[in-house]
Structure 1
Amino acid sequence: MTLLSVNLNKIAVLRNSRGGDEPDICRAAQTCIEAGAGGITVHPRPDQRHVRPHDVRALASMLRGRVEFNIEGNPFAAARGDYPGLIELARGVRPTQVTLVPDGDGQITSDHGFDLRQDIERLRPLVAELCELGCRVSLFVDAGCKDFELATAIGVQRIEIYTGPYAEAFANAEPAAELAACVDTARRAQQAGLAVNAGHDLSQANLGTFRAVIPGLAEVSIGHALIGEALYEGLSTTVRNYLQILR
């Protein structure tokens, strides 16, 4: 079955809006695990607007040996204040997977993937270092991306398809073209030897349609919609709802 990795950034946003330690991000992770989630995702950023380095370390300690831990981020973003940089964080906690994302401080959320032809040489040494640490490496890419052989050649093991445009098209009742682009991207990646993840704006409404047409979908990372839906039905129930869709 496709693994569900729950992104806990929004839990940290709520905590940071008030200060202090509530809601507790580790307790949220524990609730997701008990409900059956196979992974936890966080996306620490240099401006520390949500998940912070101490969260990453606390989660790594409690998750080790239990479920997958996926850290997302921009590998080119410099260290700043308490944020040591993505590679340094990975070196300290050895997550299961590191998903490299080309985002910047000015973005509210990730909104595009890597251009493999343009970025591959800059990525090469960073991917090599992460692989030496024992981390699986995934690259965030747009639907329609090609040249996946370049990623395979530098040691990348997975891609994550950016599903924001699909989710928007689904909401407008016109998902066919974006869905076809995702299907083609997954096929090309798998032919190059890469496993396929997906994430961004996936929800209970649109996940089933997406999952049904992507054979061998390895993982979905879902945060914003899942945490929003959990306000109404509870976190455990919402996680179980997603798992049922993935089955």
Structure 2
Amino acid sequence: MDIVVEKGPTQFGPGPIVGEFNAVGIPAKIDKGKVAIQKTVTAVEKGEPISADLGIMLAKLDINPIEIGIILAGALEDGYVLMADELEIDADAVRDDIIRAVSGSFNLACNITYLTTQTLPSLIAKGKGNALAVAVGAGVINDETAGIILSKVRTQALGLAGRLDSDALDEEVIAALNASASAPVESVTSADASSADEEAGGETAPDEEEEEEEEAGFGGLGDLFG
């Protein structure tokens, strides 16, 4: 509805307020020692915005904005009485429920391999991962599995090398063991220490001399790989 300022006297005495009323489109003048509105005017038409200055002057005339609405006490639907607290909607709770429902539906669709625009990328990624795992386990060599299998074989080879006497290892393998900083490296170090103790103790037992002669013809673990 329109905001109308009626013609007539106000409670204000003479002063700058006369100019303030006129500045916002409310004609005013001094009449009998009081500020009076000269004529009835529509200060604001329905739907029009209210400027800050006009809002201040309207408030001085006790024209204040109010919020009009309905306080719902209850509702009747198909014979059912719904109380106000039952009709209150928690927007955040509804949003969380929707998110959980969407997430649960997505997981279910993926688990039963239900193809949709939303699930297809995840299902393809899952299938690719499963296929890669099977190929690696079966030792199938291709562009995707070669790096993984070689890394796995290298780890197993280093683990085996760590169980051998250090005299059976070449410098490259020993360097790789040291770089890996794994438990097998400690066993190699212990073997080196025991060999050094035996050499410092003097002559080697006959059985050990025979083993050393046999190992002399073995060029190290590197010979196993050509």
Shorter-chain TM band: under 0.3
Greater per-residue helix proportion: 2
Rg (Cα) greater in structure: 2
TM-score (norm 1): 0.16
More strand by share: 1
